Chains A and B, each alone.
Chain A
Amino acid sequence: MSALSFERFSYTYAGADAPALRDVSLDVAPGEFVILAGLSASGKSTLLRAASGLVPHFHGGTASGRVRVGGLDTRAHGPGELAAVAGTLLQDPETQVVMATVRAELAFPLENMGFDAAAVARGVEEVALALGIAPLLDRPTHELSGGELQRVALGAALAGRPQLVLLDEPTSQLDPVAGDELVWLLRRLNEECGTAVVLAEHRLERCLAHADRVIVLEDGAIACEAPPRAMLEWAGERAPALQTPSARLFARAGLRPPPSGVKEARATLRAHGLGGDGVTPRSVVRPPSAARRPRRALGRRRAEPAALRARGLWQEPAGAPAVLRGVDVALAPGERVALMGRNGAGKSTLLRHLAGLQKPTRGRVEAQGRVALLLQHPGDYLIHERVGDEAGPLALERVGLAALTERHPRDLSGGERQRLALAIVLDGGEPPAALLLDEPTRGMDRAAKGDLADRLHTLAAGGAAVLVATHDAEFAAAVADRVILLADGCVIADAPAPELLSGGWHFATETARVLGGEGRALTPEQGGELLRSRMIADVRA
């Protein structure tokens, strides 16, 4: 019996013109790890909601065909009954947790399933130990970080030991470390407990190596259903936006087959005699970007005119450790800079200080004009009923939304909302001297990221200094020519992007990790060029 099966299933949301799912047929075997891929609004979330019973029991609408979850027909069984055979985890961790303490949250689904007190207590202990959240059991849920909340929500979904777990972009609101940890956890559950996993994810490079199969959705229909490598080959021809950086690197270099992860990519390079050891003599002897380097860089820049400059910025909250410790930062007009660092390093706080939203305890900020700040959640900027009321026509035209002035802002897609929020902060007579963006790529597909990178290039070319706080090394490489690394409120490195993003493990692009920092290539395009030139040199030799 399949863990999940769709038979010619179609579904249209109430009031929608077009179906969200069209004639979908698929089977997921017990213990299988399946990835759902596709651009935004391709139907991934709807498919998962149909599998969990929310469609149509919770959302209404019109459905045809049949969905069976662990043998239960979703037409006859609602989400509550299906929860015993399929755990579901949605995107936003904040609305995924409904009780005040972690222990109560994990006990809640078991109590609803009618377990007795002893079975509830045992179930809570088991799931807490399996997911490594036992130390959190008596913590209040409102004090947990996003990563911890998502783990707890996963624990609640798995508490009844379902044979299938459905996950809708569970890492989209998490930083890369928490996201990677969650994916590894799923892998462990899949391998050790035999739980079938259906995971919808934009960042395929994060999870492709773990998958047995990938299902690609386009406009609500299945466009491709294949193992990871075959899917990447298909994507190379039909959907380039779904290619991982490694696959694009190989395509540029003319190498086949496309790798599903860094390890496989290195093995293929070794087999072709193109290195792939991950360590080059240069990367071994290259000195790390140390504290002296930012001082030198700053000293050099002190003489240059700055669009935005922070001098000796301290943020020392009462009764808590300092968040910023004497930060010096200078951005030249037209410069594009990425601000990186782990969670809690002080990135968002620094941006707020630079934009004047917070007053520093010590130090000062100097700007040669207006400083525009785009915060993490673009939806927070949208307060009117019409797109045309949110920003002026010129600003809307600049972000490509001039045709949507009559639409309701909340009806826009994620990428369009991001562009509208950008138009709002850029609106007004005076163009900003500096534009600051806080984690602008969360939950974005690759096409939307590329679009945003192009817009930032255009704005910088117009003279605005651009500073992007991001965890996304690929995006940083695409946007920035300089990277500042923060740790514990201090600038620990400030260097050109090729130097900083090619020499590490965490703060490095996938291309740099595959090539071991060779040639300081960051993007698949640069890496492809490097490999091609090496192949030509080998042939000549």
Chain B
Amino acid sequence: MYRRHASVLHTARAGVAGAYGSALVLLALCFTHPIVLGAVAFTAVAAAALSGVGRDVARAARFAVPVALLVALVNALVVRDGLTVVARLGELPPFGELDVTLEALVYGLLLGLRVLTIVVCAALLTATVDPDALLRGLRRASLRSALTASLATRMVPVLARDTRRMQQARRCRPDGGARTRRAQLAVVRAVTTGALDRAVDVAATLELRGYALGRRPPRAGGRRWSRHDLSLAAAAAALLALVVWGLGSGAARVQPYPRLVLQTGRAELALAALVPAIALAPLLSRRGVGGP
């Protein structure tokens, strides 16, 4: 959840901070090499710590670890490529003969690491970019999409609160809130019905605030680009250039099957070094940021 802190990322305009976070997400999406993924994950965590949102990012990472492990497990069990068999699990319907290979296991772990890195980068983006400012930009581009996004963003905390209250009310019933499937379904149905009522209320408020007039919000004129806007924009552009260079030159390529090949040379080490250097440098200067 976004909360304004005294940091470079929070001070910068939303579009620039968004581009910075998106560049990190893009790096994690485009590379599977563990050195590069590790560098991106380290960069995201360090940027979160420098921006005062370390806890938010850590919380997201905690939720992502089981998912990452699941990805690794599924890949190891499902993929039949790879030459180095490390375990024979025998016949298991409906999968048939299950042989776990070292290549599938390692590549699964790499995919899990990629999931974890993407979640960490996305959490950094969510915690440092003002959603209202982004929504404002979206409204300039597409009114309908922005309307849907407005409703959705507002409904999340409202419904979370409603669900908590309904669960407590269920526990106040004389039977202590029966845990049968039927009782649970009844609660789910009630929450859904309530969600529709709530959505109607929020939609009425949007009407009353003139959203249906369809006017584009004014450009945020008058605000000059700060030193932080410029340095973050430059960093985002440099990270984007790294992605293009890496993909074009074939650096940090991973060939998982039939035998795992992790290309590790100067190019990979350079990529791993440049990512944190480029991304973290703008965050170190706190001039004009204020706060503690």
Identify the A interface with B (CB < 8 A). 52-54, 57-58, 78-81, 83-84, 88, 90, 92, 94-101, 103-104, 108-109, 111-118, 120, 138, 140, 142-143, 153, 156-157, 352, 355, 357, 370, 372-375, 377, 379-384, 410, 421, 424-428
Q: Is there contact, CB below 8 Å, between A100 and B209?
A: no
B54 in contact (CB, < 8 A)? no
Q: Is there contact, CB below 8 Å, between B169 and A375?
A: yes
B217 in contact (CB, < 8 A)? yes
The docked-state distance in angstroms from the alpha carbon of A53 to that of B209 is 12
Q: Is there contact, CB below 8 Å, between A104 and B132?
A: yes
Q: A120-B218, A421-B169 are in contact. List 18 more A-B contacts (CB 8 A).
A: A54-B204, A78-B212, A80-B207, A80-B212, A88-B208, A92-B201, A98-B205, A99-B132, A104-B130, A109-B209, A117-B221, A142-B1, A377-B165, A379-B194, A380-B162, A380-B168, A381-B169, A425-B173
| CB proximity of A386 to chain B, nearest CB, Å | 11
27 A-B residue pairs with CB within 8 Å: A52-B208, A53-B207, A54-B204, A58-B204, A78-B207, A94-B158, A95-B201, A95-B202, A95-B205, A97-B205, A98-B206, A100-B131, A108-B209, A108-B211, A113-B210, A114-B213, A114-B215, A116-B221, A118-B222, A120-B218, A138-B4, A372-B172, A377-B165, A379-B194, A380-B162, A383-B186, A421-B169
B193 in contact (CB, < 8 A)? yes
B161 in contact (CB, < 8 A)? yes
The docked-state distance in angstroms from the alpha carbon of A116 to that of B135 is 17
B286 in contact (CB, < 8 A)? no
| CB proximity of B114 to chain A, nearest CB, Å | 29
Q: Is there contact, CB below 8 Å, between A383 and B187?
A: yes
- B258: which A residues are within 8 A, CB to CB? none
Chain B minimum-CB-distance residue to A115: B218
B154 in contact (CB, < 8 A)? yes
- B186: which A residues are within 8 A, CB to CB? 383-384
Q: Is there contact, CB below 8 Å, between B157 and A109?
A: no
The docked-state distance in angstroms from the alpha carbon of A96 to that of B162 is 15
Q: Is there contact, CB below 8 Å, between A380 and B165?
A: yes
Q: Is there contact, CB below 8 Å, between A373 and B172?
A: yes
B96 in contact (CB, < 8 A)? no
Q: Is there contact, CB below 8 Å, between B205 and A428?
A: no
Assuming the A-B contacts A83-B208, A138-B4, are A383 and B170 also in contact, with contact meaning beta carbons closer than 8 angstroms in the complex? yes
| CB proximity of A373 to chain B, nearest CB, Å | 5
Identify the B interface with A (CB < 8 A). 1-4, 130-133, 135-136, 150, 153-154, 157-158, 161-162, 165-166, 168-175, 186-187, 189-190, 193-194, 197-198, 201-213, 215, 217-222
Cβ contact of B166, chosen from A80, A98, A142, A383, cutoff 8 A:
A383
The docked-state distance in angstroms from the alpha carbon of A113 to that of B211 is 9
Q: Is there contact, CB below 8 Å, between A375 and B208?
A: no
Q: Is there contact, CB below 8 Å, between A112 and B211?
A: yes
Q: Is there contact, CB below 8 Å, between B2 and A100?
A: yes
- A90: which B residues are within 8 A, CB to CB? 201, 204-205, 208
Assuming the A-B contacts A101-B132, A112-B215, are A117 and B222 also in contact, with contact meaning beta carbons closer than 8 angstroms in the complex? yes
Q: Is there contact, CB below 8 Å, between B153 and A425?
A: no
Q: Which 8 A-B pairs have the closest CB atoms?
A: A428-B174, A104-B132, A112-B210, A95-B201, A380-B169, A383-B190, A80-B210, A111-B217
The docked-state distance in angstroms from the alpha carbon of A314 to that of B135 is 44
From B4, B132, B210, residue with most partner A Cβ within 10 Å:
B210
From B1, B197, B208, residue with most partner A Cβ within 10 Å:
B208
- A52: which B residues are within 8 A, CB to CB? 208
Chain B minimum-CB-distance residue to A159: B209
- B211: which A residues are within 8 A, CB to CB? 80, 108, 112
Q: Is there contact, CB below 8 Å, between A54 and B1?
A: no
| CB proximity of A377 to chain B, nearest CB, Å | 6
The docked-state distance in angstroms from the alpha carbon of A373 to that of B176 is 11
The docked-state distance in angstroms from the alpha carbon of A252 to that of B193 is 47
- A117: which B residues are within 8 A, CB to CB? 218-222
| CB proximity of B202 to chain A, nearest CB, Å | 5
The docked-state distance in angstroms from the alpha carbon of A51 to that of B217 is 26
The docked-state distance in angstroms from the alpha carbon of A22 to that of B102 is 78
The docked-state distance in angstroms from the alpha carbon of A115 to that of B132 is 17
| CB proximity of B25 to chain A, nearest CB, Å | 21
- A57: which B residues are within 8 A, CB to CB? 207
- B221: which A residues are within 8 A, CB to CB? 116-118
Chain B minimum-CB-distance residue to A52: B208
The docked-state distance in angstroms from the alpha carbon of A103 to that of B4 is 12
Q: Is there contact, CB below 8 Å, between A54 and B189?
A: no
The docked-state distance in angstroms from the alpha carbon of A314 to that of B223 is 51
- B130: which A residues are within 8 A, CB to CB? 100-101, 104
| CB proximity of B90 to chain A, nearest CB, Å | 47
| CB proximity of B103 to chain A, nearest CB, Å | 45
| CB proximity of B188 to chain A, nearest CB, Å | 9
Q: Is there contact, CB below 8 Å, between B204 and A84?
A: no
- B157: which A residues are within 8 A, CB to CB? 142
The docked-state distance in angstroms from the alpha carbon of A78 to that of B207 is 9
Q: Is there contact, CB below 8 Å, between A357 and B168?
A: yes
Cβ contact of B158, chosen from A95, A99, A138, A374, cutoff 8 A:
A95
- A109: which B residues are within 8 A, CB to CB? 209-210
- A382: which B residues are within 8 A, CB to CB? 190
Cβ contact of A425, chosen from B133, B135, B172, B204, cutoff 8 A:
B172
Q: Is there contact, CB below 8 Å, between B132 and A100?
A: yes
- B205: which A residues are within 8 A, CB to CB? 90, 95-98, 153
From B150, B193, B194, B207, residue with most partner A Cβ within 10 Å:
B207
Q: Is there contact, CB below 8 Å, between A80 and B213?
A: yes
Q: Is there contact, CB below 8 Å, between B2 and A95?
A: no
Cβ contact of A79, chosen from B150, B162, B187, B212, cutoff 8 A:
B212
- B217: which A residues are within 8 A, CB to CB? 111-112
- B158: which A residues are within 8 A, CB to CB? 94-95
Cβ contact of B209, chosen from A83, A95, A352, cutoff 8 A:
A83
The docked-state distance in angstroms from the alpha carbon of A78 to that of B236 is 44
Q: Is there contact, CB below 8 Å, between B174 and A370?
A: yes
Q: Is there contact, CB below 8 Å, between A357 and B171?
A: yes
| CB proximity of A454 to chain B, nearest CB, Å | 23
Cβ contact of A375, chosen from B2, B133, B165, B187, cutoff 8 A:
B165
The docked-state distance in angstroms from the alpha carbon of A140 to that of B94 is 51
The docked-state distance in angstroms from the alpha carbon of A277 to that of B243 is 80
Chain A minimum-CB-distance residue to B155: A95
- B132: which A residues are within 8 A, CB to CB? 99-101, 103-104
The docked-state distance in angstroms from the alpha carbon of A383 to that of B186 is 6
Chain A minimum-CB-distance residue to B203: A58
Assuming the A-B contacts A99-B132, A142-B1, are A111 and B174 also in contact, with contact meaning beta carbons closer than 8 angstroms in the complex? no
From A80, A101, A373, A427, residue with most partner B Cβ within 10 Å:
A80
- B203: which A residues are within 8 A, CB to CB? 58
| CB proximity of B127 to chain A, nearest CB, Å | 11
The docked-state distance in angstroms from the alpha carbon of A100 to that of B154 is 8
| CB proximity of B280 to chain A, nearest CB, Å | 26
The docked-state distance in angstroms from the alpha carbon of A109 to that of B206 is 9
Cβ contact of A383, chosen from B174, B189, B197, B204, cutoff 8 A:
B189
Chain A minimum-CB-distance residue to B183: A383
- B166: which A residues are within 8 A, CB to CB? 380, 383
The docked-state distance in angstroms from the alpha carbon of A99 to that of B139 is 13
The docked-state distance in angstroms from the alpha carbon of A379 to that of B122 is 36
The docked-state distance in angstroms from the alpha carbon of A357 to that of B170 is 11
